[in-house]
Structure 1
Amino acid sequence: MAVVADERGSVVVDAGHSPAHARAIQAAMRAAGLPPARWLVYTHHHWDHVWGACAWPDVEIVGQVAGRELLRQEATRPWSHRYLREQVRENPRLGPSFRARALAMDDWADFTILPPTRTFTDELTLPVGVRLRHVGGAHAPDSTVVYVPDARVVLLGDCFYPPPAHLRGPDDGLDLAMMRDLLDDDYEWYADSHGEPTTLAQARQLLSG
């Protein structure tokens, strides 16, 4: 997750992996004196990026159009700890993901999966200047990169990751070609969702090997 804030309101990038996670981020925002969230951006539709959305009040949820129907389908599933166990019994490859979901969710009351309320196809710039760009890729068809020009930061989500574990083949790996294409002299920092941020110089050095 990331928060981009100015006097017009905060842009929250990804919703958190659960309502409890979202509420913890909200508490941290209040403690830091940041303005309330006005926009919630999905970098893609996977659970650990969207399951906290139902705990974000009064926001416009923005996502790439390919994720909307995927999330509508996910919202119809009878999510519960029992359902997670049943799904893993039927398909053991779901185990790592579904066990993580069970650990993240201690309470299913009022939980719902929310598709984006505003979608875009290729690019969209929010009123605060944050730019969204659809890049797709093997990890998720709706993968979106978030550019923050004022801070010279690019938020990558999981766009260059291989497919999720239960869909991954033996030859699937990081999409380094995508990562190279995303490097831009106008941006100094690159942050993916599950790793440490890197500078432009560090990213180029890593990719040159």
Structure 2
Amino acid sequence: MDRGRPSGGGSAIDTLAPRQLAGRVWLFPGDPDPYAVRPTVAVVADDRGSVLVDAGQSPAHAREIRAGLRAAGLPEPRWLVYTHHHWDHVWGACAWPGVEIVGHEAGVAPLRAEAARPWSHRYLREQVRDNPRLGPSFRARALAVDSWDGFAVLPPTRTFGDELVLPTGVVVRHVGGRHAPDSSVVLVPDSGVLLLGDCWYPPPAHLRTPADEPDLAMARGLLSGDVEWYVSAHDEPIRLAEARAALTG
């Protein structure tokens, strides 16, 4: 895979190459460097309009993904599903014009609050000065965003409570949890893929306590014989047998 870096201004856009996981599901793998905070983005390809799962962690990241979609000949997204409201999953949304943004209702208020903040590199520095625990997250944001011109945090335009089935058969299901109250998983039944976002992870680093651990009980509850692939946003995809061995062994 060509792991392009965010491009600035009017320079050429780097291309990320998607890889097909199973059936209609294609992945743009994230950055393995945890300090980059760049998650995997999935596309469920469909001629009626693809479903994009998470927006990318910045407009630059989203532009790379859009270029990769075009290069691979995959249908343009019609829907953008947020697995949850954290910045690395939603900050690319403003670079996806014309899509319907789908998210759990619990994510609306925090995203509206984020949208009202005066984002800039200066603001990020000021926030870290006042709360040093924000340092890793906010430094990653500063590196991710090449320009604040036209940047906006976008709440969902379509919300749901427990479950939503999109016209392409993709199922979005709320699971909640300690990482984010709006965490949702995305099931692609015909491809045997469950996209987990960050749902079973502990809380974000700046909110984490020494007692916080991954939610293995939640992860075990998501195991199903109808699912062959499990995709967490910051880990490599694993098959059902591997997931069972890791969680029940």
TM-score, normalised by the number of residues in structure 2 = 0.83
Q: Deviations for 1:3-42, whole angstroms, at most 9, x for unmatched residues?
A: 0011101100000000010011000000111111100000
**CA-to-aligned-CA distance 1:96-115 (integer Å, 9 cap, x gap):** 10000000011000000000
Please, which of 201, 217, 222 is the counterpart of residue 182 of structure 1?
Answer: 222
Q: Residues 88-138 of structure 1: CA distance to partner in whole angstroms, max 9, x if unpaired?
A: 000000001000000001100000000000000000000000000000000
Residue by residue over 1:48-101, the C-alpha shift from the partner in whole angstroms, topping out at 9 and shown as x without a partner, is: 000000000110000000001110000000000000000000000000100000
Where does structure 1 lack aligned partners over 5 or more consecutive residues? Answer: none
Deviation at 1:157, TM superposition (A): 0.1
1:191 counterpart letter in structure 2: V
Q: Secondary structure at the match of 2:80?
A: strand
Partner of 1:156: 196
Aligned length, in residue pairs: 209
Identity %: 73
Counterpart position of 1:206: 246
DSSP-derived class of the 1:6 partner: coil
Question: Does 2:178 align with 1:133?
Answer: no
Answering whether residue 157 of structure 2 is matched by residue 103 of structure 1, we say: no
Residue 53 of structure 2 corresponds to: 13
What's the counterpart of residue 162 of structure 2? 122
Equivalent of 2:130, from 90, 99, 111? 90
Q: Which consecutive segments of 4 or more residues in structure 1 shift more than 3 A?
A: none
Q: 1:62 maps to which residue?
A: 102
Q: CA shift at 1:150, angstroms?
A: 1.0
Letter in 2 for 1:97: S
- Residues in 2 aligned to 1:136 and 1:97: alpha-carbon distance in whole angstroms: 22
User: Residues of 1 paired with 2:44 and 2:106: CA distance?
Assistant: 24
How far did residue 208 of structure 1 move?
2.0
Picking from 12, 21, 36, the partner of 2:76 is 36
Return the alpha-carbon distance in structure 1 between the equivalents of residues 62 and 129 of structure 2.
Answer: 29
The structure where helix makes up a greater share of residues is 1
